[in-house]
Each structure stands twice: as C-alpha cells, then as structure tokens.
C-alpha cells in the first residue's frame, strides 16, 4: 500500500442508511441480490407486491454500497449499479451512502474485490456467527488517496480490465468460429450431391435397442449406467455416471452388453439427439432415456455414422422437427429406424472420418487453449488491483 495514502475506517466515508417502505400488492418491484466472491450486484427478479411475503423492504439507490448480512464473509457485497436504482432488498441487507466528496464509488468497488479488504470482512465479528452487522462494515479500513488520484487509478484499472475482456472475447470468438466451421464442413460433407448412395438407418445396423423401461437400482460403487447427462456431443462420460451392482448390470444388459463402436443416443428429454461412442475397455449399461445403435461395420463404420448423426443434416433436418411442439422432446425408435443415412463407399467413409477427426482435434485444442487462457486472464485482474492499491499503476 502506498505509504503516502492515509488509511481510514469506512465510517469516515460511509453512512448507514436504514429506511423501509411498505410494499403495495398492486405495484411491481425489482429485487436485487449480491453475487458471492465480490462479483457485484445483479437483478434477482421483478415481481408484483402480492408475491412478496415480507411487506417491509428497503429501497436501493444507485451508487450505494450494499452488504449482505449473512453472505458478506464470502464476498456478498458491492456497489448498486445504475440499472438497479430503486430496486428493493430485505432487512437482511445493509445499505451505505458513499460520501462522494471523499470517496469515488468505483474506487471502493475495486478495492472491495481485493484480498486485503475481504480478509477484513472474514475476520471481523463473531467466529460462531456468520452474519456481520453495520458497525462491522463501518470499521473496515481502506486507503484514501485524494479524490483526483482515486479517479486516475479507477480509469487506469478500467483501461486494463477492458483489454483483458477484449482478449477474452477474441478467444471466445475464435472457438465459436472454429465450431461453426466444423458444423458447416459437416453439413457440406453429408450433403454432397456426388454421394448418391443412401439407405435407411435400420438397414445399416445389427442392433437398435431401447433402454429398459424401469429405473436402475443404483449403488455407491460399481458399473456406470449411462443417462442423458452422461452423454455429450460426440462423447460419453462414464466417470461421472451413477453406478450399479454387477447383478443390476446383468439385469440391464440381458438383451446384450455394450461393445466398442456402439453409439449411445439420448432419445428423450434435455439434449435429445446427443450421442457418443463406446470405446475399448469401457463397461457400461443403459440408463433411462437413452438407446443403443450398433452399426454393421461391413456397410458403415461406427465413427462415420456418429459424425453423420451429429451433423446438421440429421440434427436440424430430422431430429428437431420430430421434437417440435412436444413438452418433452423425444425420438420414437420407429422413426429413427427410417432416418435416411448417406452411404459412400467404406474407403470414402474412412477418408471423411480422418478429415473430421483432424478438424475436431484442432477445435478441441483451441478449446483447451481458451480454457487455459481464461484462467490466466482471470488471474490478471487481481494482479492489477494489487498494483493499483500499492500505488504502482
């Protein structure tokens, strides 16, 4: 912290405001809430007074410092944004008016996100009681450079924060464009006019099997049972699936066990149409709302069928229309058996799979890079805030 700056209690620059209004059942109110870890104040909802049980509420004013009584120790505080002026909160929040002649509200906003400030909040008050009181807040200390210096620091932080967000946006856009290219390429490959050969799905498969229409009996440990949340777009996630005993596994696979190359499809509910492929060494059974498709590898290789199933040709042109107008989207096995499937030669299928595998690998690599970069960018703002309040910006 810059030794040239005085260090003052918030009580010198904040005033606790405790005013309540009576809620009118016929009026509409915006309710706000704090996001934890000093992530700001956001809209909770907009409701009529009749929907609000507690009829005495506080009205927030833009620029006030809002603190949650219970959640303050986990970063439940922030500055009320302009768009939430006149929103309401319960008595479990505290509102503080900022003396704008001494303290810039954006300066307080940024400083409240620092570990130095949050450590004060976590340390103060009773160790056996999570809540804090208004006097606790007024006892927290902050640096207080001249107002002009506060504003200069705020402008500098905002400039650097904007650059971080710009870099984050560029990474997101790069991934978005790569995924769009993959989808576009997939649609082109599976609708190329020269591939005149096609057949209905049933004629290309040795098995199309629905799951057992009975709930699985789960266990703490055992064999994964795939449900819709365990199936992604091209991937299966057995590691996070619920488990069953060996006896339950045998009951659920009495019509046949899954083998490498089997395609597992979500046929009902959220994510209808998602699919992944069973790999070597994976032992699993089918849970509710999924089905198994086993291709005849003499006619169509499993990876080619999976890519085609996930392509816009199948997803948008066949699955989406079947799901429209339904409260619970689902795929009828009879309809699925009749899906038209593009059928080039086995050699061409291998070539297409190799091309799409390569493209998918590049997309996956870009996503990993974006995740790594996002973590690096997330770490930059705390570093910037540290330097700013050390007087080094």
Tell whether 212 is covered by a domain. Answer: yes
Q: How far apart are CA 241 and CA 230, in angstroms?
A: 6
pLDDT for residue 265: 92
Rg of the chain over Cα atoms, rounded to whole angstroms, equals 29
Assess whether 248 and 131 both reside in one domain: no
Tell whether 189 is covered by a domain. Answer: no
Assess whether 241 and 265 both reside in one domain: yes
Instruction: Tell me the CATH number at 61.
Output: 3.90.220.20
Assess whether 294 and 264 both reside in one domain: yes
Q: How far apart are CA 388 and CA 150, in angstroms?
A: 10
**Out of 127-141, 257-271, 291-305, least confident range:** 127-141
Assess whether 211 and 121 both reside in one domain: no
Q: How far apart are CA 141 and CA 213, in angstroms?
A: 62
Q: What is the tens place of the pLDDT at every residue in 357-380?
A: 999 998 888 888 888 888 888 888
Assess whether 294 and 252 both reside in one domain: yes
Tell whether 83 is covered by a domain. Answer: yes
Assess whether 133 and 168 both reside in one domain: no
| SS3 of the chain | CCCCCCEEEHHHCEEEECCCEECCCCCEEEEEEECCCCCCEEEEEEEEHHHCCCCEEEECCCCCEEEECCCHHHCCEEECCHHHCCCEECCCEEEEEECCCCCCHHHHHHHCCCHHHHHHHHHCCCCCCCCCCHHHHHCCEEECCCHHHHHHHHHHHHHHHHHHHHHHHHHHHHHHHHHHHHHHHHHHHCCCCCCCCEEEHHHHEEEEEECCCCCCCEECCCEEEECHHHECECCECHHHCEEECHHHHHHHCCCCCCCCCCEEEECECCCCCCEEECCCCCCCEECCCEEEEEECCCCCCHHHHHHHHHCHHHHHHHHHHHHCCCCCCECCHHHHHCCEEECCCHHHHHHHHHHHHHHHHHHHHHHHHHHHHHHHHHHHHHHHHHHHHCCCC
**Mean pLDDT to the nearest integer, 246-265:** 90
Assess whether 13 and 138 both reside in one domain: yes
pLDDT class of 178 with cuts at 50, 70, 90: confident
Q: What percent of the chain clears pLDDT 90, i.e. is strictly above it? A: 57
Question: How many domains does the chain divide into?
Answer: 3
Assess whether 330 and 221 both reside in one domain: yes
Assess whether 141 and 153 both reside in one domain: no
pLDDT class of 243 with cuts at 50, 70, 90: very high
Q: What is the sign, positive or negative, of the torsion defined by CA atoms of 88, 89, 95, 100? A: negative
Q: How far apart are CA 169 and CA 152, in angstroms?
A: 26
Tell whether 168 is covered by a domain. Answer: yes
Give yes or no for residue 127 having a pLDDT over 60: no
Residue 246's domain comprises 198-343
Tell whether 298 is covered by a domain. Answer: yes
Q: What is the tens place of the pLDDT at every residue in 270-317?
A: 788 899 999 999 999 998 889 999 999 999 999 999 999 999 888 888
pLDDT for residue 292: 92
How many other CB atoms sit within 10 Å of the CB of residue 169? 10
Tell me phi and psi for residue 139, to 5 degrees. Answer: -95, -5
List the beta bridge partners of residue 341: 199
Assess whether 335 and 368 both reside in one domain: no
Assess whether 116 and 28 both reside in one domain: yes
pLDDT for residue 289: 87
Residue with the larger pLDDT of the pair 33 and 212 = 33
**Mean pLDDT to the nearest integer, 56-74:** 94
pLDDT class of 324 with cuts at 50, 70, 90: low
Give yes or no for residue 328 having a pLDDT over 70: no
**Mean pLDDT to the nearest integer, 130-152:** 92
Give yes or no for residue 85 having a pLDDT over 90: yes
Assess whether 32 and 154 both reside in one domain: no
From residue 374, how far is each of 39, 266, 363, 379 by CA, in Å? 17, 31, 16, 9
Output the pTM of the full model: 0.66
**Mean pLDDT to the nearest integer, 34-60:** 93
Tell me phi and psi for residue 326, to 5 degrees. Answer: -110, 135
Tell whether 186 is covered by a domain. Answer: no
């Amino acid at each position: 912290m810059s030794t040239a700056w005085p260090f003052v209690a918030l009580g010198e620059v904040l005033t606790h405001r405790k005013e309540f209004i009576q809620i009118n059942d016929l009026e509409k109110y915006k309710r706000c809430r704090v996001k934890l870890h000093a992530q700001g104040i956001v809209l909770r909802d907009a409701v009529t007074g009749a929907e609000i049980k507690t009829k005495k509420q506080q009205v927030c004013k833009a620029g006030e410092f809002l603190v949650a009584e219970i959640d303050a120790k986990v970063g439940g505080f922030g500055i009320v944004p302009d768009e939430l002026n006149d929103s309401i909160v319960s008595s479990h929040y505290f509102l503080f008016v900022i003396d704008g002649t001494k303290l810039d509200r954006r300066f307080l906003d940024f400083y409240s996100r620092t570990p130095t400030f949050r450590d004060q909040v976590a340390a103060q008050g009773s160790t056996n009681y999570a809540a804090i009181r208004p006097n606790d807040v007024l006892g927290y200390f902050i640096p207080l450079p001249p107002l002009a210096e506060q504003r200069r620091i705020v402008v500098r932080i905002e400039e650097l924060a904007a650059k971080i967000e710009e870099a984050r946006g560029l990474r997101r856009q790069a991934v978005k464009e790569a995924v769009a290219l993959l989808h576009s390429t997939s649609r082109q490959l599976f609708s190329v006019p020269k591939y005149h050969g096609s057949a209905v799905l049933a004629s290309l498969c040795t098995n199309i099997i629905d799951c057992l229409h009975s709930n699985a009996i789960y266990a703490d440990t055992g064999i994964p049972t795939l449900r819709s949340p365990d199936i992604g777009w091209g991937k299966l996630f057995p590691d996070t699936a619920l488990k069953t005993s060996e006896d339950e596994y045998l009951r659920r696979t009495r019509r046949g066990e899954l083998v490498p190359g089997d395609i597992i499809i979500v046929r009902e509910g959220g994510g209808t149409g998602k699919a992944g492929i069973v790999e070597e060494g994976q032992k699993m059974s089918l849970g509710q709302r999924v089905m198994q498709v086993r291709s005849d590898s003499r006619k169509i290789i499993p990876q080619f069928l999976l890519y085609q199933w996930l392509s816009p040709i199948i997803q948008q042109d066949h699955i989406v229309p079947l799901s429209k107008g339904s409260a619970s989207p689902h795929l009828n096995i009879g309809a699925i058996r009749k899906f038209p499937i593009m059928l080039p030669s086995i050699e061409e299928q291998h070539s297409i799979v190799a091309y799409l595998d390569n493209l998918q690998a590049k997309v996956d690599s870009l996503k990993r890079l974006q995740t790594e970069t996002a973590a690096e960018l997330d770490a930059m703002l705390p570093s910037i805030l540290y330097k700013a309040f050390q007087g080094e910006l």
